[in-house]
Amino acid sequence: MNKSISFIQAIEGFELNVRSRYLSQGTVKDYFTTFRKFFNFLEDDPPIELISSKHVERFLASQENISNKTLLNYHRGLSALWTWCIKEDLVKDHIVQKVDRPKPEKKSIVPYTQVDVKAMLEAVGKSMIYSRPGKKESCHTVTHPERNRAIILLLLDTGIRATELCDLKIHNTDLKNRRITVMGKGSKQRTIPISARTGQMIWRYLTLRKNARVNEPLFATRDGRPINRDQLLKALRVIGKRAGIAGVNVHRFRHTFAVSYLRNGGDPFSLQIMLGHSTKEMVKNYLSLAQADLEKNHMLASPVDNWRL
């Protein structure tokens, strides 16, 4: 065992391992955000062997104004690093496993309504109405309306994750047979059907990129680079602001797709496959919400209640 290897040296070796495994950009970004924060907490670059579970506990306890979900991500990132260190015989003990995993808060699932989605689609191409001294109220056109309209419909139609959407290439779309192929977590590929309307919007957007090649990103920035998660979130938030909808994000589209799918008669097993979940736990949450919706509708529509028999 090499006790002289420092924390930074361990990270450098782990990075080479991560790159060779083709993990998603989001996962890699989360890992190294955690490592940077932990390094700043340590204040120096100690030998990796001398870092203890107490350091990890104090690091997690020192984080302020962040959610338990973020703390859990920190724990996962450090755990992945120490798992690799064990395999490389750099440390004796897996110190992170000795630290209790933070339990993320259970957030309520709030899907978009039909009104919300229509408002966002209407807001895609125009800015908010504004006025200037001595002139009438007006608005102006904005960039990427066709791209953003296609993005909204695809997110709503498939429930794919932000990273999965950003990683899509043109050749991952089969508009003739109306389906897309995404690379999910753990490098697990899956094919998802799309509606004719969504396919039409993607086709319309691609007609504006006549010289684009099949290996280029499906959704690109002005300079042809793939849109990243931050740019995607910013674009959706701007659209939400113009539409008067608070809390717009990618995951709410995922919730909306899942709940609508179940409400309209889709089965949980196929939903689990389309969402790329390895277990049924998250699907159970969607089922609970859909069931509550059915019970509410039954109370409103039941002839026994309404006819006062």
- The residues carrying an active-site annotation are 161, 185, 251, 254, 277, 286
Spacing of C-alpha 31 from chain mean position: 16
> What is the rounded distance in angstroms from the CA atom of residue 220 to the CA atom of residue 215?
12
Residue closest to 146 by CA, chosen among 199, 222, 202: 202
Q: What does DSSP say about strands 173-174 and 179-183: parallel, antiparallel, or unpaired?
A: antiparallel
H or E element that contains 37: helix 25-42
Residue closest to 162 by CA, chosen among 3, 24, 53: 24
Q: Which CB contacts under 8 angstroms, 24+ apart, belong to 265-274?
A: 273/190, 274/158, 274/159, 274/190, 274/192
> What is the rounded distance in angstroms from the CA atom of residue 215 to the CA atom of residue 213?
6
How much is the CA Rg of the chain, to the nearest whole Å? 24
> What is the rounded distance in angstroms from the CA atom of residue 118 to the CA atom of residue 136?
26
Neighbours of 30 (CB within 10 A): 18
